[in-house]
Amino acid sequence: MYDVIVIGSGPAGYVAAIRASQLGLKTACIEKSFDADGNSQLGGTCLNVGCIPSKALLDSSHRYSDAINHLSNHGIEVSKPKLDIAKMMERKNKIVTQLTTGVSGLFKANKVTQILGHAKIIDSNHVEVISKDGSETLETKNIVIATGSSPINIPVAEINNKDIVDSTGALEFDSVPKKLGIIGAGVIGLELGSVWSRLGSEVTVLEAMDEFLPMADKRIAKDVLKEFNTQGLNINLGCKVTSAISNKKDITVTYENNGNTTELKVDKLIVAVGRSPNTENLLDKNCGLSIDEKGFIPVNDFCETNVQNIWAVGDVVRGPMLAHKASEEGIMVVERIAGKHAEMEYDLVPSVIYTHPEVAWVGQTEEDLSAAGIEFKTGSFPFAANGRALASGESAGFIKVIADKKTDTILGVHAFGPSAADIVQQGVVAMEFGASAEDLGLTIFSHPTVSEALHEAALAVNGQAIHIGNRKK
In the complex, the residues that contact ligand FAD under the rule CB under 6 A are 7-13, 30-33, 44-46, 50-51, 54, 118-119, 146-149, 167, 188, 278, 282, 314-315, 321-324, 326, 354
Q: Which residue is nearest to ligand NAD (CB)?
A: 186
Binding span for ligand NAD by CB under 6 A among 203-211, 332-340, 432-440, 447-455? 203-211
Q: CA 424, CA 350: separation in Å to the nearest integer?
A: 8
**How many residues bind ligand NAD, per CB under 6 A?**
24
Tell me the pairing of strands 126-131 and 134-145.
antiparallel
For residue 420, what are the contacts with CB-CB under 8 A and spacing of at least 6?
Answer: 352, 357, 358, 359, 360, 397, 399
Residue 205 in contact with ligand NAD, rule: CB under 6 A: no
Q: Give 177 or 382: the residue with its C-beta nearer to ligand FAD.
A: 177
Q: Give 251 or 321: the residue with its C-beta nearer to ligand FAD.
A: 321
Q: CA 209, CA 192: separation in Å to the nearest integer?
A: 19
CB 272 within 8 A of CB 353: no
Smallest distance, ligand NAD to C-beta of residue 188, A: 3
- Which residue type does 457 have? A
Q: CA 374, CA 405: separation in Å to the nearest integer?
A: 8
Smallest distance, ligand FAD to C-beta of residue 308, A: 21
Binding mask 282-321 for ligand NAD (x = CB under 6 A): --------------------------------------xx
List the beta bridge partners of residue 436. Answer: 409
For 338-446, where are the alpha helices, taking DSSP H only? 366-372, 387-391, 420-432, 437-442
CB 187 within 8 A of CB 239: no
User: Out of 71, 85, 109, 209, which residue is the one contacting ligand NAD (CB under 6 A)?
Assistant: 209
Q: CA 102, CA 316: separation in Å to the nearest integer?
A: 24
Query: In the sheet that 235-236 helps form, which strands lie side by side, from edge to edge?
Result: 164-165, 268-271, 179-183, 202-206, 235-236
- DSSP code string of 108-131: HHTTPEEEESEEEEEETTEEEEEE
Binding partner of residue 31 among ligand FAD, ligand NAD, none, CB under 5 to 8 Å per kind? ligand FAD
Binding span for ligand NAD by CB under 6 A among 67-75, 259-267, 350-358, 427-435? 350-358
Binding partner of residue 185 among ligand FAD, ligand NAD, none, CB under 5 to 8 Å per kind? ligand NAD
Q: CA 310, CA 125: separation in Å to the nearest integer?
A: 9
Binding partner of residue 189 among ligand FAD, ligand NAD, none, CB under 5 to 8 Å per kind? ligand NAD
Q: Give 13 or 412: the residue with its C-beta nearer to ligand FAD.
A: 13
For residue 359, what are the contacts with CB-CB under 8 A and spacing of at least 6?
Answer: 213, 216, 220, 224, 352, 353, 415, 416, 420
Smallest distance, ligand FAD to C-beta of residue 324, A: 5
* Residues with a known catalytic role: 447
| Phi, psi values for residue 181, rounded to 5° | -105, 145
Site for ligand NAD in 238-277 (CB under 6 A): 241, 272-275
Smallest distance, ligand NAD to C-beta of residue 457, A: 22
For residue 1, what are the contacts with CB-CB under 8 A and spacing of at least 6?
Answer: 26, 139, 140, 141
Smallest distance, ligand FAD to C-beta of residue 321, A: 4
CB 245 within 8 A of CB 173: no
Smallest distance, ligand NAD to C-beta of residue 184, A: 3
Q: CA 251, CA 319: separation in Å to the nearest integer?
A: 35
Beta strands in 1-116 (DSSP E): 2-7, 27-31, 113-116
Binding partner of residue 272 among ligand NAD, ligand FAD, none, CB under 5 to 8 Å per kind? ligand NAD
Binding partner of residue 333 among ligand FAD, ligand NAD, none, CB under 5 to 8 Å per kind? none
Q: Give 54 or 436: the residue with its C-beta nearer to ligand FAD.
A: 54
Binding span for ligand NAD by CB under 6 A among 19-27, 202-210, 357-365, 404-412? 202-210
Residue 183 in contact with ligand NAD, rule: CB under 6 A: yes
Residue 191 in contact with ligand NAD, rule: CB under 6 A: yes
Q: From 427, 428, 418, select the one nearest 449 (Cα to Cα).
A: 418
Q: Give 45 or 426: the residue with its C-beta nearer to ligand FAD.
A: 45
Residue 353 in contact with ligand NAD, rule: CB under 6 A: yes
Residue 188 in contact with ligand NAD, rule: CB under 6 A: yes
Q: CA 33, CA 234: separation in Å to the nearest integer?
A: 36
Smallest distance, ligand FAD to C-beta of residue 195, A: 10
Residue 184 in contact with ligand NAD, rule: CB under 6 A: yes
Residues near ligand NAD (CB under 6 A): 154, 183-189, 191, 206-209, 241, 272-275, 320-322, 352-354
